[in-house]
Structure 1
Amino acid sequence: MTKTLLFLSIFLSGLAYSQEDLLKDIDTLKTTETSPPAFKALQVVTAQSTKLSAKNEWYIVVAHRFGDISTGFKNFFGLDDASTKLGVIYGVTDGLSLSFSRETNMKTFEGAAKYKLVKQNDNFPVDIVGYNVMAVNTDLDKDNYPHLKFGDRLSYLTQALISRRFNDQFSLQLTPSYVHKNLYDPNIEDKNQFLAGLGGRYKVSKRISVNAEYFVNFDNHSFYKNPLSLGVDIETGGHVFQLLFTNSQLNSDIGYLSNATGEWGKGHIFFGFNLYRVF
């Protein structure tokens, strides 16, 4: 926790020092888009947006989710308990990017491919992007699962990201999703899960937008909750910094969608951030 705060302190200090130059560059970042994207960040809040990295562009991603803020001073409003995700994203082409990440919670590795299918233009009303993930849960061990095989550690996600940029301020995204888990507890969830998500972005100033997203899991007997997240995007040159509140502590794509445990109505929510640096 101390190391994380130290990192943020150093980063934000450097960011403040160079902000004037960075702001001059924000609107000239490398892109081949003929019109502005529906979302400036690669995520709406935690779920993916239809934005892709440009060809040969690298992103470093740091995502952090603190603990349940309802615990109060006992865990310093969640700051004592945190889950961190580190990842990289590479634009193979303007329409295809590959990513790799690792999250501390469940020690999960994820590899993903994101690819543009259709671009919003005068003749077509929406962007359509495909997103596929394979995750490996390395936290499972044979003491608890004596017959554990490597394949049992795997889970998969397939999504269609469908967004529309209505104007300079407002964008919406619909995200039908399918999750498959090789190892699962039939008492609390299904092996195959279908979800539908709705997310949006509203720009309140030149550099700031407010975002929200909600997913409905049609696994009717699931122990887990439907993920709901609210966030703020801050654009500063080569950085996009997202502050957020969510009822799902997990950063991984599959974990976020299918393993949310918090309840907004009871104050069981998690504060966090996503930080991107483009190269």
Structure 2
Amino acid sequence: MTKALLFLSVLSSVFAFAQEDLLKDIDTVQTSTDTSQPAFKALQIVTGQSTKLAAKKEWYMVVAHRFGDVSAGFKDFFGLDNASTKLGVIYGVTDAISLSLSRETNMKTFEGGIKYRLVKQNDSFPIDVVGYHVMGANTALDKDTYPHLRFSDRLSYLTQALISRRFSDKFSLQLTPSYVHKNLYEPTVEDKNQFLAGLGGRYKISKRISVNAEYFVNFDNHSFYKNPLSLGLDIETGGHIFQLLFTNSQINSDIGYLTNASGNWGKGHIFFGFNLYRVF
């Protein structure tokens, strides 16, 4: 009995020390700045892309939803009567390269994209640099409106450099220079070639919640459309990243979001929506 009590006493002491060390490790992870971690938890900051990529052989299912203009009030039930949905999949070819395919109900747009890491932030290099290219096809165009319509007229292209820095466990910032080319465009409201610069950030307010924001300036001087401005909330729930957001663009395809934002924040013409990611 004495030997048993002695053994239990020693075992309890070892367990207590191990538990204390484990708690110290957890505290260290929570308070330190680990540059190996991604600057953003989700693949998008709000609607624009972030420098995070899908891991090798990971599949992501994406559901993005934008309701109608909330300023319509009860008439359209604060936008619930008029919604646009995007469904997509993303596959990590390697840890540094991923492919995506999506389809949005607004303008019936298909988009295919490739995202790849050029440089990763580490102790000796201060930023992440990721390239992102998209080709979109607007299948809503028809020959009744455009009698000489060709397939190439449906196509548009996006090229972006995603440049981010993880300043701390809580705060990350990203700069996104962008270029858009449209084969078919209306010259009275936009240019064929458009250059934009975006700034986005993330601030973590709890273990599983962060607030995000992004803004893009379109240097197309006579554009009829507005500069996209979006605010969001990231919620981490196991294998899900759930993003709630307000934006002045109902379109959530990459190209449409950047070049066809129609809402005006100053007049309350904004759209509520969400992004849902499920990884497999």
Q: TM-score range by the shorter chain?
A: 0.7 to 0.9
**Do structure 1's residue 104 and structure 2's residue 100 form an aligned pair?**
no
Residues 72-221 of structure 1: pairs in structure 2 closer than 5 A: 72-221=73-222
- What code does the residue aligned with 1:259 have? N
- Partner Cα separation in structure 1 for residue 64 and residue 35 of structure 2: 30
RMSD: 0.8
- Partner Cα separation in structure 2 for residue 123 and residue 190 of structure 1: 41
- What code does the residue aligned with 1:67 have? G
Residues 205-244 of structure 1: pairs in structure 2 closer than 5 A: 205-244=206-245
Normalising by structure 2, we get a TM-score of 0.88
- Partner Cα separation in structure 2 for residue 117 and residue 82 of structure 1: 36
Task: Give deviations 1:92-122, integer Å, cap 9, x for gaps.
Answer: 0000000000000000000000000000011
- Partner Cα separation in structure 2 for residue 36 and residue 237 of structure 1: 17
Q: CA deviation at 1:271?
A: 0.1
Q: Which of structure 1's runs of 4+ aligned residues deviate more than 3 A?
A: none
SS of 1:71's equivalent in the other structure is helix
Q: Percent identity?
A: 84
- Partner Cα separation in structure 1 for residue 218 and residue 198 of structure 2: 9
- Partner Cα separation in structure 2 for residue 113 and residue 121 of structure 1: 23
Structure 2 gaps of 5+ residues are 1-33
Task: Give deviations 1:211-263, integer Å, cap 9, x for gaps.
Answer: 00000000000000000000000001100000000000001000000000000
Match in the other structure for 1:40: 41
- What code does the residue aligned with 2:201 have? G
Match in the other structure for 1:22: none
- What code does the residue aligned with 1:58 have? W
Task: Give deviations 1:55-111, integer Å, cap 9, x for gaps.
Answer: 000000000000000000000000000000000000000000000000000000000
**Do structure 1's residue 60 and structure 2's residue 61 form an aligned pair?**
yes
Number of positions where the alignment pairs a residue of Structure 1 with one of Structure 2: 247
- Partner Cα separation in structure 2 for residue 133 and residue 185 of structure 1: 21
Q: Contact 2:228–2:261 at 8 Å: present in 1 too? A: yes
Normalising by structure 1, we get a TM-score of 0.88
Instruction: Return the index of the structure with the highest Cα Rg.
Output: 2
Match in the other structure for 1:27: none
